[in-house]
Structure 1
């Protein structure tokens, strides 16, 4: 794919750096601009344009294409201005599709939660089955970095990426569907539509659905033709997967569902049962997702990647028969914490430490339905842990599973998780 006019990179993260490297390799003389809404635009060989200057730059046709990073909302008014002026909007993923899609098998996996684990398992299973496979998207490499290196590519995709994905996969998979990312999409309805865009299209691709997606009416409508669905696992396969998962590092019923879905996807792409069992055995938890540590006598679980109440429910269910201190709360996205509050006591939570902003709503809901749970409303994570250290006799397990993004207090969930583990090590070792 070649560009006849300069290109603007909107965003300066991992995908923007990948796109810049691709453009440098394919069109060394191409003029490239970069803009960011916040932070630094640290992209080599790119001229910076301030966001306030974009309308005039579009009117002057200083660039012909905008390559948007996933974190930048597709619904920013500037993109409508660009389209009206004839400026194309694309992405690292779509550039991969235009350049490398032909001749490869593409597996695209999305869902509100579980997509990273499912994609990682699918990749492991295919590799252990002797199939040349790469992993890209939110885990693994940026799409353009994986290029044409593998015959099969597994993409783990967020709703930010599925919203404007313009090529078809060979297998599309959806783990589940819950409200999320309303600030990016503008509404829950648009989030659902953008997430389901992966499957809600014409084409002869196959579809695999996780256990929580199968009973969803919106998902069923998006699938359109249920002859698209991959075959169910056989009883023999189900038993073998359950046995393998019980002896692996996959924790909780939700991860067994992820293993079943990954196996179904991989079988659809030519995997073997032996490859499935080896892939499950080889799985290692992703950083910040049920990442378990033991400091002194305290089990510490870093689930900082949890950004939805559903993810927090799954984290608690993965630790039955424990006395739990839960740390939850973060950036506001209008999510409903009422059901989570009703589950805390039965999941073994003795102490709840809440963080701004959403923690206030969870604390209020918990007081209503579980008055025996001690509640600490802390201003930040460090204060929450300091207060928990003074109450350590009340619990044997501390779980950071915020059920909300981190942006109001941290740069990202990785920073939040790293601080949590470091402070727990200092306080409980």
Structure 2
């Protein structure tokens, strides 16, 4: 980490806590700043604020009082989730007080190289693949994961040395507040239409995504999905060297699929069937990671080793185990119909599906073709059980059963499976009717699968 004095004795406001806010406040304190943190949650219910107060940091909780702007702050570090419509942010900008994101602060003290990954889908998997590939390159320094993947960049940056690289997942919320952040390699996996309620319009969303490349120069690289004409046109906005990746083989000037193999600039890297995590979306993620790894000088053996062994990011079509010739996958992150469609289309073998969850007021007709093509049996849980059962009946799924919770659904799914089947948790719904979050739901699935496996061995 660089030793900078920019913030010595400067009054700085950290707006919003959670992991990134706590981490930013601690780093700023280490840099000699006079830090105030402000969080909407009341102090008595706010263990993060309580801990920071014990560390000597001023805390203001229970709301966002506009009077804070009278305290002469030189800078505001904003939690990514807080929109620009927040009165304090609007007031700060009107007073010409700079507002930055937590990754921007981390970049200011970064000693090593930054690789930044953004996109509507595939960010976390691509970020993880890149980190694993670069870390296998024994001739280089360490590669560290950071950012929207759940590890604050301001925490990670403190251990990054000159020869290291920080592989950072950057959300559109983070990128909206970019000022000087400049990845040596930027990756855009794809851009669809997400979070429009926060950004206000698709135009704003795309603009904020493209901030990942706005400070890049001709010495840098932009790795971008080439399988959409809009994304090709967006690449014209960068000053960096453009390295395309294409599952459709639309460009051979980067990473691409041709037939059953993945290539980089004409060099064969790996067979598609050798990639451990299934699905066309993971072919795209692999291509993006291959491009970054090759630019970074990573040998093919390291790239191939990772792609052959990486079982997926937890809760995202995550390979759990194989026993009695059934493969078990945890896709608890599939909290909407589209995610479950992607998961089902990832498999060529019959699927016993576990699905269901929070009723958000919609039905599931869109899943009928995918049920018909892929699902041999379905086990349903949660508020949407009957709605999903209606779709399964329309699709002609021969076995439809109901369970109380995921732990009960797993042995039922096993009973309906035969050798070479896939047992898949992909709920197509949020978890909040029965579980605090999708992670706890996925963990229950993994535990139930492990218990089932141990019971069969006993």
> Smaller-chain TM-score range?
0.7 to 0.9
1:321 aligns with 2:349: yes
Aligned equivalents of 1:237, 1:4: Cα separation in 2: 53
**Structure with higher RCO (Cα < 8 A, 6+ apart):** 1
> Which residue of structure 2 lines up, in the alignment, with residue 92 of structure 1?
102
Aligned equivalents of 2:21, 2:39: Cα separation in 1: 10
Unaligned runs of 5+ residues in structure 2 are 1-5, 244-252
Q: Relative to 1, partners in 2 of residues 1:182 and 1:121: Cα closer, same or farther, differing over 3 Å? A: same
Give the Å deviation of 1:410. 4.4
> Which residue of structure 2 lines up, in the alignment, with residue 177 of structure 1?
191
1:69 aligns with 2:69: no
Give the Å deviation of 1:365. 8.5
1:366 aligns with 2:391: yes
Q: Relative to 1, partners in 2 of residues 1:95 and 1:388: Cα closer, same or farther, differing over 3 Å? A: closer
Give the Å deviation of 1:139. 3.5
Aligned equivalents of 2:445, 2:332: Cα separation in 1: 9
Q: 1:33 aligns with which of 32, 37, 43?
A: 37
1:194 aligns with 2:208: yes
Q: Does structure 1 conserve the Cα–Cα contact (< 8 Å) formed by 2:328 and 2:423?
A: yes
Give the Å deviation of 1:262. 0.6
> Which residue of structure 1 lines up, in the alignment, with residue 250 of structure 2?
none
1:106 aligns with 2:114: yes
TM-score, normalising length: structure 1 = 0.80
> Which residue of structure 2 lines up, in the alignment, with residue 157 of structure 1?
170
State the structure with more CA Rg: 2
Q: Relative to 1, partners in 2 of residues 1:237 and 1:255: Cα closer, same or farther, differing over 3 Å? A: closer
Q: Deviations over 1:77-100 (max 9, x none)?
A: 442133224443222201122222
- Once the two structures are superposed, the pairs formed by residues 95-134 of structure 1 within 5 Å of their partners are 95-100=105-110, 104-129=112-137, 130-132=139-141, 133-134=143-144
Q: Does structure 1 conserve the Cα–Cα contact (< 8 Å) formed by 2:16 and 2:37?
A: no
Aligned equivalents of 1:377, 1:180: Cα separation in 2: 32
Q: Does structure 1 conserve the Cα–Cα contact (< 8 Å) formed by 2:351 and 2:424?
A: no
Q: Does structure 1 conserve the Cα–Cα contact (< 8 Å) formed by 2:337 and 2:367?
A: yes
Aligned equivalents of 1:75, 1:217: Cα separation in 2: 32
Q: Relative to 1, partners in 2 of residues 1:389 and 1:237: Cα closer, same or farther, differing over 3 Å? A: closer
User: Match of 1:176, SS?
Assistant: coil
Q: Relative to 1, partners in 2 of residues 1:16 and 1:409: Cα closer, same or farther, differing over 3 Å? A: farther
Q: Deviations over 1:234-290 (max 9, x none)?
A: 8786284333x6445333332222112211122122223233223334534322222
> Which residue of structure 2 lines up, in the alignment, with residue 233 of structure 1?
255
Aligned equivalents of 1:372, 1:153: Cα separation in 2: 47
User: Match of 1:17, SS?
Assistant: helix
Q: Relative to 1, partners in 2 of residues 1:177 and 1:375: Cα closer, same or farther, differing over 3 Å? A: farther
Aligned equivalents of 1:30, 1:330: Cα separation in 2: 44
Q: Relative to 1, partners in 2 of residues 1:70 and 1:412: Cα closer, same or farther, differing over 3 Å? A: farther
Give the Å deviation of 1:219. 2.2
Q: Relative to 1, partners in 2 of residues 1:271 and 1:184: Cα closer, same or farther, differing over 3 Å? A: same
Q: Does structure 2 conserve the Cα–Cα contact (< 8 Å) formed by 1:11 and 1:41?
A: no
Corresponding pairs, count? 415
Q: 1:350 aligns with which of 349, 353, 377?
A: 377
Q: Does structure 2 conserve the Cα–Cα contact (< 8 Å) formed by 1:180 and 1:335?
A: no
Aligned equivalents of 1:325, 1:94: Cα separation in 2: 42
Whose strand fraction is larger, Structure 1's or Structure 2's? 2
1:82 aligns with 2:96: no
